């Protein structure tokens, strides 16, 4: 049975300890009461445990815990465990700091009558349905345990944190991509003088295509250009093809990376479909 050596008791229920030279966070009811450095904790006393290998993450988490009451902390630790189980994947350890910090601030804002609108809610729901479903369960749990009412906008923010932890990406990076997608859609609407139904299947297809395009560009992945289709689209749909290139130039400017010509072909097809649907209405 593993025995842990206490480094620091953060509160009655959370301690920082060492096990085989690895620093761990241990959680248990009353586990830290009356404990001091170098005391020992038996494995059977531990209810939950996780590892923060990055020294910076460790320090940030320690500082964060001093601002959280025990009930909120217990709930937020349960939240991360729920995400791990429902996603059935390993999570980047940064989620312990990033999501905890986000939820603590969200709860504070809510209790003080402040709300933040999520401009990427629809896009997040469309692009990351699994993460969104988990985030919905997380929000329900937090609302029930802490007797609050986090809004749907927060579900979207939580989903981004989950996707970030599952895909080992920075939340800021995902938000930047979402912002770019919203900007591109606005250009399309302005050019066609339409309002795209954000709940429609074609909007979902368009958003997914733009997301995959962005990811390919970031990875530097080249798509083979179908030359015959390109020539046909240039001839038959010059307005859509030119708009596709306008969107690509925006992508290039925002991402600071080359976007290959083939992307214009596939984007043109989506634009043609979107416009055709609105002409039928």
Identify the pLDDT of residue 225.
66
Instruction: Provide CB contacts within 8 A for 231, sequence distance 6+.
Output: none
Please state whether the predicted TM-score (pTM) of the whole model is above 0.75.
no
Residues across the chain: 281
Q: Are 78 and 103 in contact (CB under 8 A)?
A: no
User: How far apart are the C-alpha atoms of 47 and 110, rounded to whole Å?
Assistant: 30
Domains of the chain, by residue range, sit at 1-51, 54-169, 180-280
User: How far apart are the C-alpha atoms of 260 and 60, rounded to whole Å?
Assistant: 41
Kindly indicate whether the domain formed by 1-51 is annotated with CATH number 2.30.24.10: yes
Identify the pLDDT of residue 280.
65
Identify the pLDDT of residue 203.
84
User: How far apart are the C-alpha atoms of 215 and 267, rounded to whole Å?
Assistant: 15
Going from the first residue of the chain to its last (281 residues), give the mean pLDDT of each consecutive group of 10, the final group possibly shorter.
80 80 79 85 80 76 80 87 87 85 89 81 89 96 94 92 84 87 93 87 82 85 73 84 93 89 84 79 55
Tokens 């809610």 — which residue? Answer: 121
The CATH number of the domain covering residues in 180-280: 1.10.1790.10
User: How far apart are the C-alpha atoms of 6 and 267, rounded to whole Å?
Assistant: 57
Identify the pLDDT of residue 200.
80
The 3-class secondary structure across the chain, one letter per residue, is CCEEEEEEECCCCEEEEEECCEEEEEECCCCCCCCCCCCEEEHHHCCEEEECCCHHHHHHHHHHHCCCCHHHHHHHHHHHHHHHHHHCCCCCCHHHHHHHHHHHHHHHHHHCCCCCCCCCHHHHHHHCHHHHHHHHHHHHHHHHHHCCCCCHHHHHHHHHHHHHHHHCCCHHHHHHHHHHHHHHHHHHHHHHCCCCCCCCHHHHHHHHHHHHHHHHHHHCCCCCCCHHHHHHHHHHCHHHHHHHHHHHHHHHHHHCCCCCCHHHHHHHHHHHHHHHHHHHC
User: How far apart are the C-alpha atoms of 210 and 35, rounded to whole Å?
Assistant: 54
Identify the pLDDT of residue 258.
87
Domains 54-169 and 180-280 share a fold: yes
User: How far apart are the C-alpha atoms of 231 and 227, rounded to whole Å?
Assistant: 6
Identify the pLDDT of residue 226.
67
At the second CATH level, the architecture of 54-169 is: Orthogonal Bundle (1.10)
User: How far apart are the C-alpha atoms of 240 and 245, rounded to whole Å?
Assistant: 9
């Amino acid at each position: 049975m593993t025995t842990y050596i206490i480094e620091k008791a953060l509160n009655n229920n959370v301690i920082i300890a060492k096990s085989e030279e690895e620093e761990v966070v241990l959680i248990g009811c009353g586990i830290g009461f009356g404990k001091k450095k170098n005391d020992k904790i038996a494995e059977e006393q531990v209810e939950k445990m996780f590892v923060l290998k990055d020294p910076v993450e460790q320090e940030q988490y320690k500082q964060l815990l001093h601002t959280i009451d025990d009930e909120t902390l217990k709930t937020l630790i349960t939240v991360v465990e729920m995400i791990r189980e429902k996603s059935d994947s390993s999570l980047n350890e940064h989620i312990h700091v990033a999501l905890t910090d986000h939820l603590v601030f969200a709860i504070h804002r809510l209790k003080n009558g402040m709300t933040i609108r999520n401009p990427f809610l629809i896009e997040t729901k469309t692009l990351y349905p699994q993460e969104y479903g988990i985030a919905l369960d997380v929000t329900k749990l937090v609302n029930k345990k802490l007797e609050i009412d986090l809004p749907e906008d927060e579900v979207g923010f939580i989903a981004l944190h989950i996707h970030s932890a599952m895909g080992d990406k920075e939340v800021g990076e995902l938000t930047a991509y979402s912002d770019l997608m919203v900007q591109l859609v606005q250009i399309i609407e302005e050019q066609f003088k339409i309002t795209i139904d954000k709940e429609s299947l074609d909007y979902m297809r368009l958003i997914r295509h733009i997301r995959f395009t962005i990811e390919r560009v970031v990875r530097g992945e080249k798509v083979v250009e179908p030359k015959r289709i390109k020539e046909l689209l240039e001839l038959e749909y010059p307005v859509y093809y030119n708009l596709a290139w306008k969107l690509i130039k925006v992508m290039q400017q925002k991402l600071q990376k080359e976007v290959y010509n083939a992307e214009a072909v596939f984007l043109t097809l989506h634009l043609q479909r979107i416009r055709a649907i609105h002409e039928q209405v």
